Amino acid sequence: MLLNREDVTSLLQLDDYVEVVENAFRAYAEGETLDLGLLHVDAPDGEFHIKAGGPEKPRTYFGVKVNAGFFQNRKRFGLPNIQGTIILCDGDNGYPLAFMDSTAITINRTGATTAVAAKYLARPESRSVTICGCGTQGRIQLRHLKGILPIELAYAFDFEASVAEGFASDMSRELEIEVRAVTDLGSATKKSDVCVSCTPAKEYFLKLEDVPPGMFVAAIGADSPGKQEIDPRLMASGTVVVDILSQCAEVGELHHAIEAKIIDRDRVHGELGEVIVGRKPGRTSSDEITIFDSTGTGLQDAAAAAATYERALESGKGTYFDFFASA
């Protein structure tokens, strides 16, 4: 089956992604998934991420995603900065079931993962959030957080002020909340319950002194060794939860804190799946700073691709194609 971007976008809603992601991390914690794979390849003007994995219940699927990150694309060629594809296979016999655009899945499973982490790590009464990075991912992050927390006020910060202003105008109208564009990040975070960083930055900009007690920080952008958004000292100041420990130690914010000899892997509170199944506690006090290091996994991609494929079968969407048909 071939599924283009329009097909994929139409098949799952925001709530579907939250359910799929939470179930995927639960399955991982309970040992009901295939092994995960991660490969990073640099290119002259960008990078490629290859991520693989899959759920085992109720049916075994294997998915591999190839995503390209070329962050000058939109300005230079009018192409998306991030684009790619997912191949979904039957995990029992290896047959390729579907080839699909990865854009909507990558965007939505990332936002949904933040929402799941916020469910366990943010103060449930959180009403204000600072979004750092006001592109497509910043928009989906705010939409997902609005669905899980009683958000009433959002601050929009971007390295291009005009982008933040456009974000504030669009999202305030769409979500019917107050969204303010800001140029002073610290002044915004000090008044926020939640902070999400989702940029391609290569040097940290969220400083330890700008994070108030009780904040939930979701660090999304660092998904390769050269990316960094948050002060490594933050990792030692609060409770650190990661999506996948081994992966974050190689490419996430944890990687930078370890490299700076500020903390080691043993200092990490746990993985998100462990919190979901109750093996590790989530937030334990209102003043606790909680930090979620999210690097993105092939498991999330495969689980969302499997759900998309099953919806396509039910609805009749997509183009059927036999990969092994004889000429």
Can you give the CATH number for the domain in which 151 is found? 3.40.50.720
Q: Which domain holds residue 77?
A: 2-105+299-315
The one catalytic residue in 51, 65, 146, 280 is 65
280 is catalytic: no
In a domain, 17, yes or no: yes
Same-domain check for residues 50 and 163: no
Which residues does 188 contact at the CB level (< 8 Å), separation at least 6? 130, 155, 157, 180, 182
Query: What is the dihedral sign for C-alpha 259, 261, 266, 270?
Result: negative
What is the per-residue pLDDT for 256? 96
Same-domain check for residues 76 and 148: no
Same-domain check for residues 250 and 119: yes
Same-domain check for residues 77 and 149: no
In a domain, 320, yes or no: no
Instruction: Outline where DSSP puts E strands in 106-176.
Output: 128-132, 153-157
Instruction: Record the tokens describing residue 257, joined without a space.
Output: 């804190």
Same-domain check for residues 207 and 307: no
Nearest to 151 by CA among 126, 114, 121, 176: 126
Same-domain check for residues 129 and 215: yes
Same-domain check for residues 62 and 130: no
Query: Which of the 8 DSSP states describes residue 206?
Result: B
What is the per-residue pLDDT for 75? 85
What is the per-residue pLDDT for 326? 64
- pLDDT (tens, 9 = 90+) of the chain, 327 residues, equals 999 999 999 999 999 999 999 999 999 999 999 999 999 999 999 999 999 999 998 899 999 999 998 988 888 888 888 899 999 999 999 999 999 999 999 999 999 999 999 999 999 999 999 999 999 999 999 999 999 999 999 999 999 999 999 999 999 999 999 999 999 999 999 999 999 999 999 999 999 999 999 999 999 999 889 999 999 999 999 999 999 999 999 999 999 999 999 999 999 999 999 999 999 999 999 999 999 999 999 999 999 999 999 999 999 999 998 877 765
Same-domain check for residues 49 and 161: no
In a domain, 244, yes or no: yes
What is the per-residue pLDDT for 79? 86
Same-domain check for residues 218 and 289: yes
Nearest to 42 by CA among 224, 259, 280: 224
Same-domain check for residues 169 and 249: yes
In a domain, 324, yes or no: no
In a domain, 14, yes or no: yes
Nearest to 50 by CA among 32, 31, 69: 69
pTM of the model: 0.94
In a domain, 228, yes or no: yes
In a domain, 327, yes or no: no
Look at the chain and report how many structural domains it folds into: 2
Can you give the CATH number for the domain in which 19 is found? 3.30.1780.10
Same-domain check for residues 147 and 35: no
In a domain, 326, yes or no: no
According to DSSP, the residues that pair with 98 across neighbouring strands are 88
At position 44, the amino acid (one-letter code) is P
- Helices 14-29, 298-315: axis angle to 10 degrees equals 130
What is the per-residue pLDDT for 322? 83
Same-domain check for residues 32 and 145: no
